Amino acid sequence: MKPTIYDVAEAAGVSIATVSKVINGTGRISDKTRKHVLDVMEELKYKPSMVASALTGKSTFTIGLTIPDLANPFFAEIARAVEDRGHEYGFNVFICSTDNDPEKEVKYFSLLTQKRVDGIIIASRTQKDQFLKRLIQHQIPIAMIAREMPTLAVDTVMVDDFLGGYQAGSHLIELGHRRIAMIAEDMSEMSSRERVRGCRQAMLDAKVEPDEALIVVGGFAVESGKAAMDRLLEQDHKPTAVFACNDVLAIGAIQSARQHGLQVPKELSVIGFDNTVLATIVDPPLTTIAQPIQDIGRQVVDLLVEEIKGEKALKQRVLLMPQLVVRSSCAPAQ
């Protein structure tokens, strides 16, 4: 059987209260007893049970992270960042892939609260405000990695999508492009709309007129990005550059271009968004707008931990800046 606090108390010839105090550094204990108790703990290889201490009202040092899909590199990288930062604070993280299925999401939330996690980071996309509201009423600390402004007071970290789009557009324009296509993810999503809006604004600011026919919706899969690019390339007046709202779509666009006999970047410049590993893997290496994944992870965890510790009165909204990463998928317009 695993040794308990009683075992070390007995072996050390003190009371369990004393042992508890040396474990937690609370109360006043003489250096002598402290050292002795520590020695005994070591000897018995005693590790306090966190479930028992959690029951006594302390925290579980556990947080939940809900994401759409861990197998998606973007979220895997987010998860890794959250894990690392959490670990620095002594937290373990339960990762929950919801596939954006509301049912799974509810089930996971229910499990997480039953396990008395200290807080939850929400990076999945389904969360209807309605549902979030219930969680908040449940008093459980929450922080979000969001793509749109929640209509609720929740700690949130977001990336400036408009700026990202603007950076992408500017870059293409500086390279001399005028006919710039855009592949959005899903126009019903604010975040995607913002990226497109940013790119378009960059064009307007440079006095180049966006062509509505060059703005299409692509979704989230390589295949759909490819299909979207196919449509773009079958038009009469082809674009010389395309801004894809995520790296996966950008990869689809490159594949499509290649199939149409177009060289990237010589005949078609492609710029993506996210800067996942994939961007470094494709050929040509993808110029893209980087999301500061490490920072996103750090910041949400920081927000959540402050919330957990109750050190914070007000909710915060952190807006992070995206950044252009130039690789080889964009070239000057011919």
- Give least dist CB 2 to DNA, A: 7
| 11 makes contact with a copy of itself (CB under 8 A) | no
Q: Which stretch binds DNA (CB under 7 A): 19-27, 231-239, 247-255, 267-275?
A: 19-27
The DSSP annotation for 23-82 comes to HHT-S---HHHHHHHHHHHHHHT----HHHHHHTTS---EEEEEES-TTSHHHHHHHHHH
> Bridge partners of 271?
243, 287
Measured CA to CA, the distance from residue 233 to residue 308 in angstroms comes to 52
Q: Is 44 left (phi over 0), alpha (psi -120 to 50) or beta?
A: alpha
* Tokens of residue 164, six digits: 């990202």
- CA torsion, ordered 241, 245, 248, 251, to nearest 10 deg: 0
Q: Considering only residues 104-163, where is the footprint of a copy of itself by CB under 8 A?
A: 110-116, 138
**Residue 212: count of CB within 10 angstroms of its CB:** 7
Q: Considering only residues 209-248, where is the footprint of a copy of itself by CB under 8 A?
A: 222
Q: Which stretch binds a copy of itself (CB under 8 A): 57-65, 156-164, 201-209, 228-236?
A: 57-65
Q: Which stretch binds a copy of itself (CB under 8 A): 23-31, 36-44, 88-96, 203-211?
A: 88-96
What is the residue type of 37?
V
Question: Which letter does DSSP use for residue 143 in this model?
Answer: E
Measured CA to CA, the distance from residue 119 to residue 64 in angstroms comes to 6
Residue with Cβ nearer DNA (21 or 200) = 21
Residue with Cβ nearer DNA (55 or 326) = 55
Q: Which of 11, 25, 33, 328 binds DNA (CB under 7 A)?
A: 33
Cβ pair 120, 66 in contact under 8 A: yes
User: Per-residue string for binding with a copy of itself, 262-281, x by CB under 8 A?
Assistant: ---------------xx-xx
Residue with Cβ nearer a copy of itself (52 or 326) = 52
| 110 makes contact with DNA (CB under 7 A) | no
- Give least dist CB 139 to a copy of itself, A: 8
Q: Considering only residues 38-77, where is the footprint of DNA by CB under 7 A?
A: 48-49, 52-53, 55-58
Residue with Cβ nearer a copy of itself (81 or 202) = 81
SS3 sequence of 146-168:
CCCCCCCCCEEEEECHHHHHHHH
- Name residue, tokens 């690019």: 229
Peptide bond before residue 239 is cis, with ω within 30 degrees of 0: no
Q: Which of 48, 106, 201, 260 binds a copy of itself (CB under 8 A)?
A: 48
Is 320 exposed, middle or buried, given 0-12, 13-18 or 19+ CB atoms closer than 10 A?
A: middle
Q: Which of 35, 39, 80, 128 binds a copy of itself (CB under 8 A)?
A: 80
Q: Which residues of the shown chain bind a copy of itself in the complex (CB under 8 A)? A: 2, 47-52, 54-55, 60-62, 69-71, 73, 76-77, 79-80, 83-84, 90, 92-97, 110-116, 138, 222, 251, 254-255, 258, 277-278, 280-283
